[in-house]
Chain A
Amino acid sequence: MSVLNTEGLKAYYIIDVLGEKRYVRAVDDVDLEIRENEIYGIAGESGCGKTTLIKTLFGMVEPPLNVMDGKVKYKMNAEYADIFAMDNKRMREIRWEYISYIPQGSMSVLNPVQKVRYSFEHFIKAHRRIRNKEEEFIKPVERHLQALGLPVQILDSYPHQLSGGMRQRVTVALATVLQPKIIIADEPTTALDVVMQRGVIQLLKDVQSSLKNTIIMVTHDMGIHANIADRIGIMYAGKMIEEASTEEIFGNPLHPYTQYLIGSLPKIGDKSYKTSAPGAPPSLINPPEGCRFYPRCDRATDECKAAIPKLVEIEPGHKAACFLYSGVKEDE
């Protein structure tokens, strides 16, 4: 059962350059079906549109970002609700309670001039009416922190007194205190040391297995995906080009870009020669006609230049957008 769907989602940045409108096609026709009780990883390089995609999934769409077409639907009370049809008040209600967001820079979530306790209080008060502070606020929050293995004393610290890793774990605790159905995490480990990365990943896994909810995790670090994701979607230049189980993505990548990506990963204990894909990722203002990857692909044909391959199922549960495997085109 899916818990979040997108259909033909297009989110562009509209930039006005001397009266001429330019479109940055950051998310270009993406169909997603995120299931209940899974960790879905989104991988891709910087500038491929992965952060824009999850912002759109969270409904954080503000100019210059515009949703040009398509829908984002959350499953609520056994029905699918289109979030762009909701008013602001409804959106505010379901944010953090139904879907929450863990951003990359944890400093931007915690108020730097207030103790951590205040951030928790502020969060909970916005969603629940608290009559008995001790019973309805302090005790549940302390229980929540203890369940996540965090010291309760952090509630009386200011954010700057905590280390970067601790701050990120407090952000995870804050984003999960209302027990959301969906958690979106944007590069939650990127600025951290490896030991602390492991701590944060461990925490996210614990949260997921106790709440049985869904985590959508964006990171460029394939090692993190290998360790935590159930399924992975690979993004390239605004499009989802491959989607499969984690074992399939690492063991049997189909799209030539994914093959380059997996094949170039260095590992300890392996000194064999690794190469990168030739060339560089395209600009999202003027992406190549046809398949976005064909200028860098050594197996490109004339067909790849003329039409865009559609993301279709090649093997059970394994989708790819490449004419090597299927002739299905995107209609444009």
Chain B
Amino acid sequence: MSSKLIEVNGLTKVFRVGSLFSRVRLTAVDNVSFDIKDADIYTLAGESGSGKTTVSRIILGLLEASEGEILYKGKNIMNIKSEREKKEFRKDVQAIFQNPFETFNPLRTVENYLYETQKNFLGVDASDSIDGIEQALTAVGLTLDDVKEKYPSEFSGGQLQRISIARALITQPSLLIADEPVSMVDASLRMSIVNLFKELKDRYGLSVLYITHDLATAYYVSDKIAIMFRGNIVEKGSVEKVLDSPKHPYTKMLKESIAQPDPRDKWDSRVDLHLTEREEYMLKGCKFAGRCPHVMERCRTEEIPDFDIDGVTVKCLLYQ
């Protein structure tokens, strides 16, 4: 058994929305727990508004949690005070964002970012050594000549995303947090980025937290998956178990709603769409109760606990 790299326990984030006089509490992330092991690709999947990005922002320290703890290599990172420890954590946990054209300043050459990361985290000046940068670029299939004196506009989205992964690798992190890293990348280049995560995992033992709405790439790349819905993790386990035979009614519906790229596998039933986002956040029991075909009276009133079944954790009273 490999050890736990990061452990998220009971993470909760409450936002207050609305004007001064009609404040509404919106629980964007509700008691979320999961853990990522060494050399593991873990997917956090869900639709927009499910809270998946909020979780990643809390781990990165960009947002403060309302409740819960995050243990990184056994140490709670929520109450790190010293700058040195914070820097150490940021060096070990690197992020890749959705839009590579927003990651880079269009008026700066991209190589500058690589030099700057090396200087800030490793204290190595570009004039002394660029070995680390060259290694990071080789890992993503590029060379220094490819990026030298070039501006972001001279690259395609796929190439820029590769460069931003290379930048993240310079500090030799243990965990990459990738928030929708391929949704802005062209279809014909998308798999090359996804394959890169697999290679980095196999070759360097890197762990990846892959945040996406795209279950097809999630199935392809990841070991474990957690499905989020309106702030809750409704189902988690190995990606084959969760997606091949989903248990939670929401996961089932999500899987059926995907347009499979195969004309022999078209949708054969119809969907019914109602209930808006706001109302679902406000629901007391199961957030999916309004749309669930198996809904029981208890689902609307009780707090739903997690149930373990066949190695999968499901938040649904059907599996009590």
Contact = CB atoms under 8 A, between A and B. Distances in A.
Interface stretch (A9-17, A55-63, A195-203): A195-203
Contacts of B266: 226-227
A198 B259 contact: yes
Given A163-B277, A267-B216, A271-B220, A194 B187 contact: no
A261 B48 CA distance: 27
A299 B189 CA distance: 19
A280 B158 contact: yes
Given A266-B217, A268-B258, A280-B158, A226 B276 contact: no
B188 A195 contact: no
A283 to B, nearest CB: 10
B261 interface: yes
Interface stretch (B4-12, B89-97, B203-211, B249-257): B249-257
B262 interface: yes
B258 A223 contact: yes
A247 B194 CA distance: 27
B261 A193 contact: no
A146 to B, nearest CB: 15
Contacts of B215: 268
Given A193-B213, A194-B257, A266 B263 contact: no
A223 B259 contact: yes
For B187, B243, B264, which residue has the most chain A Cβ atoms within 10 angstroms? B187
Contacts of B243: 268-269
B156 to A, nearest CB: 4
Interface residues of B, number: 42
Contact of A280 (B47, B159, B255, B264): B159
Contacts of A280: 156, 158-159, 186, 189
Interface in A155-208: 163, 165, 193-199, 201-202
Interface string B34-68: 00000000000001100000000000000000000
Contact of B188 (A193, A269, A276): A276
Contacts of B213: 193-194
Contact of A220 (B187, B257, B260): B187
B43 to A, nearest CB: 12
Interface string B182-225: 00001111111011000000000000000001011101100000
B186 A45 contact: yes
Contacts of A227: 259-260, 263, 266-267
Interface string A229-262: 0000000000000000011001100000100111
A114 interface: no
B261 A226 contact: yes
A264 interface: yes
Interface in B210-245: 213, 215-217, 219-220, 243-244
A93 B174 CA distance: 62
Contacts of B48: 193
Contacts of B81: none
Interface in B130-170: 156-159
A202 B158 CA distance: 32
Interface in A251-307: 251, 257, 260-262, 264-271, 273-277, 280-281
B294 interface: no
Nearest to B255: A268
Nearest to B193: A276
B143 to A, nearest CB: 15
A229 to B, nearest CB: 8
A268 B244 contact: yes
Interface string A217-229: 0001111111100
A202 B271 contact: yes
A268 B219 contact: yes
A276 to B, nearest CB: 4
Contacts of B257: 194-195, 197-198
A219 to B, nearest CB: 10
Contact of A198 (B187, B191, B217, B267): B267
Nearest to A46: B186
B261 A250 contact: yes
Nearest to A43: B187
20 contacts: A163-B276, A163-B277, A197-B257, A198-B267, A199-B271, A199-B273, A220-B186, A221-B259, A224-B259, A226-B266, A246-B263, A247-B263, A265-B261, A267-B262, A268-B260, A270-B220, A271-B220, A274-B195, A277-B188, A281-B186
Given A194-B47, A198-B259, A266-B191, 20 more contacts: A46-B186, A193-B47, A194-B257, A195-B271, A202-B271, A222-B187, A222-B261, A223-B261, A225-B261, A226-B266, A227-B259, A227-B263, A246-B263, A260-B188, A266-B194, A266-B216, A267-B216, A271-B219, A276-B191, A280-B158
Interface of B: 47-48, 156-159, 186-192, 194-195, 213, 215-217, 219-220, 243-244, 253-255, 257-267, 270-271, 273, 276-277
